[in-house]
Amino acid sequence: MIAWLIEGVPRRGLVALAVLLGALLVAPWLANDYLVTVLIIILYFAYTGQAWNVMMGFAGQLSLGHAIYVGLGAYAAAALYVHYGIGPWIGLAAAIVIAMLCGAIIGFLAFRFGVGGVYFAILTIAFAEFARIGFDHFQWVGGSSGFFLPVANYSRSDLWNLRGSPTMFYYVMLVLTAAAFVLCHALLKSRIGYYWQAIREDEAAARSLGINTFRYKMYAVVISAGMTAVAGVFFAFYYNNLFPEQIFHISRSIELILGPIIGGIGTLFGPIIGAFLLTGLSEAMQELLARRGFDVPGAKQVFYGVCLLLVVMVLPDGVWPWLARRLGLKRQQS
Amino acid sequence: MTALLTVDGVGKRFRGLTAVDDVSFAVEQGAIFAVIGPNGAGKTTLFNIIAGELAPDHGAITFAGARIDRLKSHAICRRGIGRTFQLVRPFPTLSVEDNVVVGALLRHPDPVIARRRAHEVLWQLDLFAKRAQQASTLTLPDRKRLEVARALATDPKLLLLDEVMAGLRPAETDRMVEILTRLNHETGLTILLIEHVMRAVMALASRVLVLHHGAAIAEGAPEAVVREPAVVESYLGAEAVE
């Protein structure tokens, strides 16, 4: 299995990967609490970016409403925990199933009736907005006044109930991000990955080669939705409060896709690099401004805009393809 | 010999325009069959109907003993019909090799084995040396051959070629003709082609169907067909027969 996974990956790439993973593993010992919370946000965006990339980067289906899967996952696990005392790991399974069903409905409506391109993107926004407005009136989970998980002071980390220190959440997020990376790598190496790329490049040509494009696009949406829901569960138990106006908001969907766009759509490292660049630099900038005594609301959004502009102008394929060429990590074509 | 593909009374209208008008013909197992005709004669529409991209308004298409005229294009490919597109459609950011691997994955779900099959096809189409290039960097003649390679990698019983010679220089046309002849001889592959380049049609086809305004106006051996007055008048012009 491992031999199959690393087959064809250049040695320098494996070394770089091991160094990165090692650094991330020891980071909580070297970093202060603030830095750990920043790293959690970075990994969170690396993970969700990776999940979104399955749909857009691999299969070419643009979703601008991925917040819906985060939100559904978060609410599902939180509701089970608060109302029935069911722990997050079992809640996770429910969250994944619900998000996958939702993805399947959106995918079916779009692909069955030939809704593609920008119209598909608009459909995904519409569904996220339905969810936002719907949850505003969903009193069982608090409606617009929010849904809260009990916060207690836990001296010990309780991994089973996902209650504990930021360091525990950091490692949970690191495992999730690493798992998503390996899963995406495995998908790309399999038939499904080739078929997705063929559909992304030219759907009619893909059909002519015997690919059931409807089925493979459905797989992409459903897998991406399920992966994204996992981040939602994490979100609920990390922040302990959920507001429909925040979690389903379109700005959340946009925020989530900036990482992979800047890092490189369709690449495995793009979402990771993008998350480090965007979140890392914007946090650093805010910290710097705060130390100088400036409080600039909206500085983060402006920074995101500038980053996006620069990448579109200078590196339209994203940072990673350029960086990989520079580091000599470009995969050898066998 | 038995017919591998039978097209029986197939018609297709787009609003007021009759694109394909009650066309019938049969392609024998192992044959190279050409469809010719002036621009707008309905050749590509006919192809798209056979390949399942378009549904016919009426008529029946039988392939290897089973009706296929209501099947989707991917299901038709699965039955054993490979096709190329008149305007080549490679997967531009994939390598030449991966383009062909996508085709080979239909019969070989394991990418490692599919890659092996792709290598064989790349050899057959003279593309092995260029396998690592990104498909978008290929020249037109190479793209035309990549188009054939990709379709061939699905291991079809019948290959539909939509003007694979168009835009090629005579030397490149001869190279393509030679490759197709070899495939036909060595593997028994049946080929149905649309072609404008008469040089290729005369060299390849054992049988020719002429379409004009969507209707079949002549069918037979190439040498006989090009002498029929209706064909000369509608399409070739007197000088082409020389």
Terminal CA-CA length for chain A: 20
Q: CA A318 → CA A63, A148, A259, A265, B242, distances in Å?
A: 18, 38, 10, 7, 58
Supply A80's token pair.
């089970």
Query: Which residue in the set B74, B95, B114 is minimally distant from A213, CB to CB?
Result: B74
Secondary element (H or E) of residue A177: helix A166-189
Top pLDDT among B108 and B225 is at B108
Sequence-distant (≥ 6) Cβ neighbours of residue A307 within 8 angstroms: A258, A262, A277, A278, A281
Per residue in A131-170, pLDDT (tens digit) is: 999 999 999 999 999 999 988 666 677 888 888 888 999 9
Supply B97's token pair.
């090799």
Q: CA B202 → CA A120, A314, B32, B78, B239, distances in Å?
A: 48, 52, 11, 31, 15
B107 φ, ψ (degrees, to nearest 5): -100, -15
Query: Which residue in the set B74, B92, B93 is minimally distant from A210, CB to CB?
Result: B74
Spans of all domains in chain A: 2-327
Write out chain B residues lying below 8 Å of A206, CB-based: 102
Q: Which of A182-186, A290-294, B108-112, B131-135 has the lowest mean pLDDT?
A: A290-294
Write out chain A residues lying below 8 Å of B109, CB-based: 191
Per-window interface: A 161-190 vs B, CB < 8 A: 189-190
**Parallel, antiparallel, or unpaired for β B207-212 and B32-36?**
parallel
Q: Is B74 on the interface with A (CB under 8 A)?
A: yes
What's A209-258 look like in SS3?
CCCCHHHHHHHHHHHHHHHHHHHHHHHHHHHCEECHHHHCCHHHHHHHHH
Per-window interface: B 28-67 vs A, CB < 8 A: 51, 53
Q: CA B41 → CA A126, B126, B213, distances in Å?
A: 44, 33, 5
Rounded to a whole number, what is the distance in Å from the CA of B9 to chain A's nearest CA? 24
B48 φ, ψ (degrees, to nearest 5): -65, -30
Q: Is A316 on the interface with B (CB under 8 A)?
A: no
Q: Do B111 and A191 touch (CB under 8 A)?
A: yes
Q: Is B232 on the interface with A (CB under 8 A)?
A: no
In a domain, B174, yes or no: yes
Q: How confident is the model at residue B132 (pLDDT cuts 50, 70, 90)?
A: very high
Q: Is B117 on the interface with A (CB under 8 A)?
A: no
Domain that holds residue B199: 3-83+156-241
Q: What is the mean pLDDT of residues A7-33?
A: 87
In a domain, B14, yes or no: yes
In a domain, B189, yes or no: yes
In a domain, B170, yes or no: yes
CATH of domain A2-327: 1.10.3470
Rounded to a whole number, what is the distance in Å from the CA of B105 to chain A's nearest CA? 7
Q: What is the mean pLDDT of residues A164-189?
A: 95
Q: Is B87 on the interface with A (CB under 8 A)?
A: no
Query: Which residue in the set B89, B105, B132 is minimally distant from A194, CB to CB?
Result: B105
Sequence-distant (≥ 6) Cβ neighbours of residue A94 within 8 angstroms: A76, A77, A80
Three-class DSSP category at B190: strand
Report the distance separating Cα A41 and Cα A238, nearest Å: 11
Q: Is A201 on the interface with B (CB under 8 A)?
A: yes
In this structure, what CATH number is given to the domain that contains residue B75? 3.40.50.300
Q: How many domains does chain B have?
A: 1
Entry pTM: 0.92
From B215, B209, B231, select the one nearest B9 (Cα to Cα): B215
In a domain, B89, yes or no: no
Whether A330 has a pLDDT exceeding 90, the answer reads: no
